Copies of this chain bind each other. A is one copy, B any other.
Amino acid sequence: MTLSIETPAVLVDLDVARRNVLAFQAYADRHGIRVRPHIKTHKLPQMAELQLDAGAVGITCQKVSEAEAMVEGSARIRDVLITYNILGEEKLTRLERLNTRVTLSVVADNRTVVEGLSAHFARTEKTLTVLVECNTGADRCGVATPAEAARLARLIADAPGLRFGGLMTYPPVGAAAQLESFMREAKRLIEADGLEVPSITSGGTPSMMQAAEAPIATEYRPGTYVYNDRSLVVRGVATWEDCALTVLATVVSVPAENRAIIDAGSKVLTSDLLGLTGYGHVLGRDDIRIDQLSEEHGRLVSDGPIGLAVGEQVRIVPNHACVVTNMFDAVHIFEGGVPKEKWVVVARGRVL
């Protein structure tokens, strides 16, 4: 089937996305876990509404400008967690404006960030909720120990303009035990200090169906689950049929019997490997490897004849759906197997 859509393009199957969202929501409901999807995967207010309809308590964003785009894009988004250390007067002013519009919380993993937030929000009418980010093994951001978490919780609780909102982590895959023991100890120390821990929020699509193995967490922030991608299929977490986002590309050259070139390169698929070999999966063609990308070309190779003709379309499941979303101004929404409309990716490129 050749689609009359100019390529390269991102196609989103809304039926598949809805099924993915409902499946995790059902699991979370069964285990009493609140769901707060990370919108970085879709960057679409409409998709956030679909997640809220399914039962999500709010959304997660990574940057202030991303949160602004989402809140601007849907009046139904009323509860936003920004899982980021926010610094600098411009961003704090934007944050203040957001805080008057929605239920907002942010995170901090160090004293400088807490002091910056407090210096700003001490002068505003509404206090800002701040969670402590904890490192449960991913070695990115986060305080290193439960004792540090408790110290920072106390600092937040005592800081003018701030309210302590709980604990946040982005754990490595399969780290339920570490997560549980870190958070249990941090909670004990914080409560011993006379504070409540309103929320313990964890995340990550690969481990989401094991979220209940860390019962200390009250909330989960899956992102990629709405679309899935090649990395999740290779990990055995999803099947190709669960992949809601695909890239439609056209073969522009077949310069050798075993090689074809498509009009989607790193400006579409990105160079994200996520530990895999190759840059995506051509649906229906297990024999093909996308072994090389330049900015506007993708190279498809096969051990045998490639069997593709110039002008033919292929559909590709990218390694990493979230980053592909960020490369497009708009995506094509399919429902019932047919193109329905185009949605503008309003939160694309929001790095501030």
Residues of A within 8 A of B (CB): 6-8, 40, 62-63, 84-85, 87-88, 90-91, 109-110, 112-113, 116, 135, 139-144, 250, 252-256, 259, 261, 263-264, 266-268, 270-273, 292, 294-297, 299, 309-311, 322-323, 326-329, 349, 351-352
Contacts and interface: CB of A to CB of B under 8 A. Distances in A.
Contact of A349 (B88, B112, B297, B327): B327
Given A310-B110, A329-B349, A349-B327, A143 B322 contact: no
Given A6-B91, A8-B351, A271-B272, A252 B84 contact: yes
List the number of copies, as a whole number.
Answer: 2
A309 B110 CA distance: 11
A170 to B, nearest CB: 9
Given A112-B309, A326-B267, A296 B351 contact: yes
B140 A297 contact: yes
B6 A252 contact: no
Contacts of A328: 349, 351
Contacts of A91: 6
Nearest to A301: B139
A4 to B, nearest CB: 9
A160 to B, nearest CB: 20
Nearest to A113: B310
15 contacts: A7-B352, A40-B295, A40-B296, A62-B295, A84-B252, A85-B261, A87-B250, A112-B309, A116-B311, A139-B259, A140-B297, A144-B255, A267-B349, A327-B351, A328-B351
Contact of A140 (B6, B84, B261): B261
The 8 closest A-B pairs by CB, nearest first: A112-B310, A271-B271, A85-B252, A141-B253, A62-B296, A271-B272, A6-B90, A141-B261
B271 A270 contact: yes
B63 A296 contact: yes
Contact of A253 (B85, B255, B273, B329): B85
Contact of A267 (B261, B310, B323): B323
Most buried by B among A109, A295, A297, A299: A295
Contacts of A112: 309-311
Contacts of A267: 323, 326, 349, 351
Nearest to A349: B329
A254 B113 CA distance: 11
B140 A292 contact: yes
A112 B308 CA distance: 13
Interface centre among A141, A272, A309 (most CB of B within 10 A): A141
B266 A295 contact: no
Given A62-B295, A135-B255, A267-B323, 8 more contacts: A6-B352, A7-B88, A85-B310, A87-B250, A112-B311, A141-B297, A266-B272, A328-B349
Contacts of A84: 252, 263, 296
